[in-house]
Amino acid sequence: MRVASRAGRQLILRSARRISSLESFLSPEFFEGSLGEVSPTERGEWRADAAAEVPDVADYPAFARRLHRRLRPRIGWGPEELDELLWPEPTPELMARARFLLERAGLDESGVRKAVRAMFGRKGVRALEAGARLRIGWVEKAFLYERAYEVTQRVMREHPDWWAKRVRRAVSEELGMEMPLSTVYCWMKRGNRPNVLPLRMCPALGTVMGIALSDGAKTDSARLRVKDRDFAGAYARALEEVSGRRFEVRGRGGRYEVFLRGSPILELMRTGLWKVVAYLYPSEFLAALFSGDGWVTPQLNIWGLRPSIGFVNSNLSLVGFTDWLLRRFYGIRMGWLLQESEGEVQVIRGQRVRVRASYRIYTSNTRFVEIYAERIGFVIERKQRMLEDLVDIWRRFEPKDRPEEFKRRYEKINGRWVRRH
């Protein structure tokens, strides 16, 4: 028997280590994309043990700092961009509100800490441990006040001789949160009802936040006005599921509108608590977000056809967190590109305006596109249909036949690919 030399044995050992380090990438689960969340059609309520299923990806603050170091020389980022990536600051007051939302989703103390650590890092955990008193804002009112009103009415029926202070004490004890005396008094003596949009924690809230952050108004209301009727319809259905109230889709001037005052939705966006909703329901959030400001398109060239997906927005915190969600829950890695520079002049609706810096994340990796199609998808039907067609063509046809098959199904009209009837 021939004995290998010392150099030969070292070469064998190095090869073995190299192969073992690739085992996770060579496993069938990696190519199937089974990394964390399940698809919107299979997904139920948030599970408290879901955080244990995510791949080994750093928490978002660490991810954002690495991203900043990598892109700083290429895009010219400075300290301001890092601050924007890390917004909002995890103060004790904000972490108390994040705890409130996470507990409404059914997470126990361990799940709350894991979620806060993932989204806000160690600084967020320290702020959570500070135990700040929860102040009731529009978000908390949206989740509490309908239930609090019902409890108030029941206590009044059971104890008609009680004054407002005693009723308030009973309601606060049952809800586990101190209610404002003036609110309980108005419910008792003036016959008022809660004047806030009620919300509940469910996957549809992810859809609402994704649509609101992409195409929704963000100033005085959370209304939506878009060209795609199915997109407006998805917003109305999600709002109805979240609030229990009915919303209508109205057509005006070739666009479809869903009107909503939506103070709780606006507060979720303005405070940065939308990150909690996105973390709890990533499939629904990403599908709605990409339907508004994302795209799916074929890349046609002399080498054939490749599907491509992407997302563009001027909110750097939103783009960065979206990149992190895709990587953490699905293993999808996106490239970055500066879409428009700060102060660049653009012609919008016939007027020259200076725009904010906007950023594009994208991928043409077919494995990642397939994972996106299977696990996330789009809310808008035409985008979802094109995504399904591109994946089907890529899987079923040879490279030389893919462009011809795509052009058999689609034609270009006014610069856009439209499916043939």
Helix (H) or strand (E) holding 124: helix 109-129
CB 288 within 8 A of CB 380: no
For position 262, which CATH number holds? Answer: 3.10.28.10
**Of residues 220, 258, 219, 215, the one with CA closest to residue 240:** 258
- Integer angstrom CA distances of residue 377 from 86, 286, 296, 416: 27, 8, 10, 20
pLDDT in tens, 71-86: 999 888 999 999 999 9
What's the confidence (pLDDT) of residue 5? 54
Q: Would residue 213 count as lying in a domain?
A: yes
CB 394 within 8 A of CB 402: yes
Q: Would residue 388 count as lying in a domain?
A: no
Q: Would residue 210 count as lying in a domain?
A: yes
Q: Would residue 242 count as lying in a domain?
A: yes
Torsion angles phi and psi, residue 327, rounded to 5: -75, -40
Q: Spell out, as residue ranges, where the chain has pLDDT lower than 70.
A: 1-55
Q: Would residue 246 count as lying in a domain?
A: yes
Q: How many domains does the chain have?
A: 1
What's the confidence (pLDDT) of residue 78? 92
* Bridge partners, residue 257, by sequence: 225, 250
pLDDT in tens, 345-373: 777 777 888 888 899 999 999 999 999 99
- Pairwise CA distance, residues 71 & 73, whole Å: 6
Q: Would residue 6 count as lying in a domain?
A: no
Give the single-character DSSP code of 3: P
What's the confidence (pLDDT) of residue 12? 43
- Average pLDDT of the chain? 86
- Pairwise CA distance, residues 98 & 119, whole Å: 10
Q: Would residue 258 count as lying in a domain?
A: yes
Residues 6+ apart with CB under 8 A from 290: 309, 311, 376, 378, 383
Residue with tokens 């192969």, as numbered in its chain: 19
- Beta strands 335-340 and 358-363 are antiparallel
Q: Which two tokens stand for residue 235?
A: 């917003």
Q: Would residue 235 count as lying in a domain?
A: yes
Q: Identify the domain containing residue 253 by its residue range.
A: 203-280
